[in-house]
Amino acid sequence: MFTEQELLEQVAKLDGWKLKDGRLLVRKYSFNEFMKGIAFVGEVAAISEAFDHHPRITIDYKTVTLELTTKEEEGVTSLDIRQAYGLNEAYERTR
Amino acid sequence: MFTEQELLEQVAKLDGWKLKDGRLLVRKYSFNEFMKGIAFVGEVAAISEAFDHHPRITIDYKTVTLELTTKEEEGVTSLDIRQAYGLNEAYERTR
């Protein structure tokens, strides 16, 4: 696990992600069409299967919110951070 | 808009859907694989575009939760009820 300081530094480098309640990594992604958000969710699903790690995904019309955490560790781990980078790359490809 | 009594009768006939806070129609759909839930979300998206009415969709690993409401009417309308039937049919096809 990261120390609190290490975690804050890691999150500061991650475009768009915020720490929630100290144990959840959250990002809202916006799209100009509903179906682009759905296509992004398809990418998120493929990445989640590859990592065998599944964020909570919420689709509110043209906004997709992802929440990442590692339940076994009750907090954010390097796995969540690595996956967040991959999810940001997928957003740049599909937005 | 339905009267409260009419709405309760409509919801009672809808398999799996519940009324939340008197103004949201909610159903949780379970799948035996994460990717089956994702395939279902693709169907939900297509139906939502056809109805031009977009439920909030939450994917929690193998569980997909849908919330339907008509914002303009601040409550559940016949549009939500009709769409809920279509979503249940999609579930039966993709589960």
Three-class HEC string of A33-52: CHHHHHHHHHHHHHHHHHHC
Interchain proximity A54–B41, CB inside 8 Å? no
* Pairwise CB contact (< 8 Å): A59 & B57: yes
First to last CA, chain A: 32
Residuewise pLDDT in 10s, chain B (95 residues): 899 999 999 999 999 999 999 999 999 999 999 999 999 999 999 999 999 999 999 999 999 999 999 999 999 999 999 999 999 999 999 98
ipTM: 0.96
What pLDDT score was predicted for residue B32? 97
A38 touches chain B (CB under 8 A): yes
Looking at the partner chain, which of A34, A42, A54 has a beta carbon nearest the beta carbon of B49? A34
CB-CB: which of B34, B45, B60 is closest to A35?
B45
Nearest to B56 among A34, A45, A60 (CB): A60
Q: What's the gap between Cα B55 and its chain centre?
A: 7
Determine the distance from the C-alpha atom of residue B63 to the mean position of all C-alpha atoms in its chain, rounded to a whole number: 13
| Whole-structure pTM value | 0.96
